[in-house]
Amino acid sequence: MFNKISGGNGNITSFLGDDDVSLVLCGEAGQGIQTVESILVQVIKKGGYHLFSTKEYMSRVRGGQNSTQIRVSSSRARAFLNRIDLLLALSNGAVEHLQKRITSHTLIMGDEKHLISLSSDQYNLIEVPLLEEAQKLGGPIYSNVIAAGLLSCLLNISINLFNQRIRDMFARKGTEILENDLKAGKAGYKIGKNLVQTGKVKLNIQNSPEVKKELLLNGTDVVGWGCLAGGCNFMSSYPMTPSTPLQVFMASNANEFNLIFEQAEDEIAAINMALGASYAGAHSMVATSGSGFALMEEAVGLAGMIETPVVIYIGQRPGPAVGLPTRTSQEDLNLALYSGPGEFPRIIFAPGKMEDAFVMSQLAFNLADKYQIPVFILSDQYFADIYYNVPSIPIEDVENNKYIIKTNADYKRHLLTPDGISPRGIPGYGEGVVVVDSDEHDEDGHLTEDLDLRRRMVDKRLKKLEEIQKEVISPELVGGEDYQFLILGWGSTYWAIHEAMDNMKDNRFSFLHFKQVYPLHSSTKEYLAEAEKTLIFENNANGQFGNLIKLETGHEIHRMVLKYNGMPFSVEEVVKNLKNVRGG
């Protein structure tokens, strides 16, 4: 954080940063906040600093207030902080929008017109001439690059490194625009250099050459790489935040990875296309959000009935209906778990860190093919949009198996087998006819109303759960096995809870994180039984995963910490709740 080291009457003359600084940029939609983020995350990482980035934005093209947090650290940073050390206010409403996160230690920088209504007795203010310099270059559009240059200078990032990033981003826009953006960056560096030389801002973050060699990933891209590693070669979807970035990623990599991407006319068409492609032998998927997935539910039942694999990515956001389109939640677990009429098996993954997102996404295609079922990947807006650096992803562990057989003349698509898994054939590969029907059917796939056969077919499909249970991924225990308090979490809550535990330094706490939320691993009940108290953190109003745990194990969670305002848990929130549990 920034610590006041001199000054009086509320006027700050100098700040000293420690080894973990929370930078926040805030302005109106359309001002280019994401442009600044795109510049900074790359140059910060290439400058050798650990970083974490997340954003919150309104569902509008213009106006409102959007903000981006970038943590720059001497050590790994992978979670959202409520704390703001330096706020770069790019609009009149920025300070008001973030008021609850601003403290006496927060340094606020911005143009005079954006700070004029603020009292220097109440806030730590530094005026910087972003708009004045931007006008010299042709207009306010250049203020975002000036801001990026300013912050890069404060972080002691080489201007040559910064300029290369500008060339990479803007060269395609033509020589004139590129040159002006390079001048804008230079102007930002000049402002930053003046702040450092006059002692108004000083950062003390240590960089590391090793970080430069690491990967900078965001949640969407790492899921996408996992899907490609799993052999995905067909995707059909209809755009819907926050799943759209995954669709863009897959479409942009389609040619290189021999993938067919189809933007369907609606969600119903999308999932039925995916099932049709899977029936023909493709490794297919769809991506959507909660209200979009609601339209797909009938086809999920179809997948269960015709035993055709499909991977379904749900980027969660608050509901009901359209809800808060650009905010985050964990509200769709029940939707995925109980979707589709009737009873049939499914698998639900919910990764919480980059490495797991890659592994789970790749594995989803293998398990969907092996068990001929729908497999869900539950993400959310927060996880989809975050960036942080990692040493590597476990690409060496990728192993894809083939489960399609060459049919013979008497092939039966839904052959009754001891494990419930029928040999899967596809049209045109072998001599057999591959028949599927959305009605209940016999072993050949033809419609039947034989009620005894109906019972046997249901039993056959459900029998797969016994086999699936043998390879459920176990939850990850963070901390010692001799715990008094057991924290539970799933999906994107991983790093906030993990960092909070690190800050607490209390070995009475351990954290059990679930990256597979259905079926539950058989060890779950044993972990719960060892705890004196259990508490769970979820981004929904009813404790959906906590209720699932009770349903499956009989254990009732002692304390549910539920947040459903559209924002993720901050590290500070988790720490506060853990202190309340232990009593101080």
For 253-296, the pLDDT digits (tens) are 999 999 999 999 999 999 999 999 999 999 999 999 999 999 99
Helix/strand/coil for 391? coil
Share of the chain above pLDDT 70, in %: 97
Task: Name the residue type at position 96.
Answer: E
Q: Tokens in use for 59?
A: 């569902």
Helix/strand/coil for 109? strand
Judge whether residue 4 has pLDDT over 80: no
- C-alpha separations of 47 from 17, 73, 217, 221, 552 in Å: 17, 12, 16, 22, 48
pLDDT score at 136:
94
- Per domain, the residue ranges of the chain are 2-212, 216-397, 404-471, 476-582
Give the separation between CA 372 and CA 444, rounded to whole angstroms.
Answer: 16
Mean per-residue pLDDT, 438-447: 97
Give the start-end residues of each E strand in 207-324: 215-218, 234-237, 260-263, 284-288, 310-316
Buried-state track 20-45, b at ≥16 Cβ within 10 A, e below 16: bbbbbbbbbbebbbbbbbbbbbbbbb
Beta pairing partners, 561: 537
Mean pLDDT of the chain: 94
Q: 119: which residues sit within 8 A by CB, 6+ positions away?
A: 10
- In tens, the pLDDT along 344-393 reads 999 999 999 999 999 999 999 999 999 999 999 999 999 999 999 999 99
Which residue, among 182, 216, 173, 190, has the nearest Cα to 43 in the 3D structure?
A: 216
Q: Is the dihedral of CA 10, 154, 18, 50 positive or negative?
A: positive
Give the separation between CA 576 and CA 567, rounded to whole angstroms.
Answer: 17
Phi/psi zone of residue 300: left (φ > 0), alpha (ψ -120 to 50 degrees), beta? alpha
Judge whether residue 10 has pLDDT over 70: no
Which residue, among 462, 436, 461, has the nearest Cα to 447 in the 3D structure?
A: 436
Buried-state track 372-390, b at ≥16 Cβ within 10 A, e below 16: bbbbbbbbbbbbbbbbbbb
Beta pairing partners, 25: 68, 88
Judge whether residue 2 has pLDDT over 90: no
Contact 69, 53 (CB under 8 A): yes
Give the separation between CA 151 and CA 189, rounded to whole angstroms.
Answer: 8
pLDDT score at 8:
34
DSSP character at residue 48: T
pLDDT score at 5:
34
According to CATH, the superfamily of the domain at 216-397 is Thiamin diphosphate (ThDP)-binding fold, Pyr/PP domains (3.40.50.970)
Report the CATH fold assignment for 476-582.
Rossmann fold (3.40.50)
Beta pairing partners, 16: 3, 202
Helix/strand/coil for 488? strand
Q: 341: which residues sit within 8 A by CB, 6+ positions away?
A: 298, 301
Contact 141, 32 (CB under 8 A): yes
pLDDT score at 15:
52
pLDDT score at 584:
57
Beta pairing partners, 389: 216
CB atoms within 10 A of CB 248: 14
Q: Tokens in use for 552?
A: 């499956």
Mean per-residue pLDDT, 197-223: 94
Judge whether residue 7 has pLDDT over 90: no
pLDDT score at 17:
58
Same topology, domains 2-212 and 216-397? Answer is no
Share of the chain above pLDDT 90, in %: 91
Q: Tokens in use for 262?
A: 């189809």
pLDDT score at 60:
76
Mean per-residue pLDDT, 453-458: 98
The band of 3, judged by pLDDT with boundaries at 50, 70 and 90, is very low
Beta pairing partners, 56: 67
Mean per-residue pLDDT, 14-35: 82
- In tens, the pLDDT along 519-572 reads 999 999 999 999 999 999 999 999 999 999 999 999 999 999 999 999 999 999
Q: Tokens in use for 551?
A: 């349903």
- In tens, the pLDDT along 393-410 reads 999 889 999 999 999 999
Q: Tokens in use for 367?
A: 């398990």
The band of 1, judged by pLDDT with boundaries at 50, 70 and 90, is very low
Q: Indicate the angle between helix axes 219-229 and 244-252, nearest 10 degrees.
A: 50
3-state secondary structure 537-569: EECCCCCHHHHHHHHHHCCCCCEEEECCCCCCC
Q: What are phi and psi for residue 129, nearest 5 degrees? A: -85, 60
Which residue, among 281, 279, 283, has the nearest Cα to 307 in the 3D structure?
A: 279
**Element holding 168 (H helix, E strand):** helix 159-170
In CATH, which of 3.90.209.20, 3.40.50.720, 3.20.20.30, 3.40.920.10 is domain 2-212?
Answer: 3.40.920.10
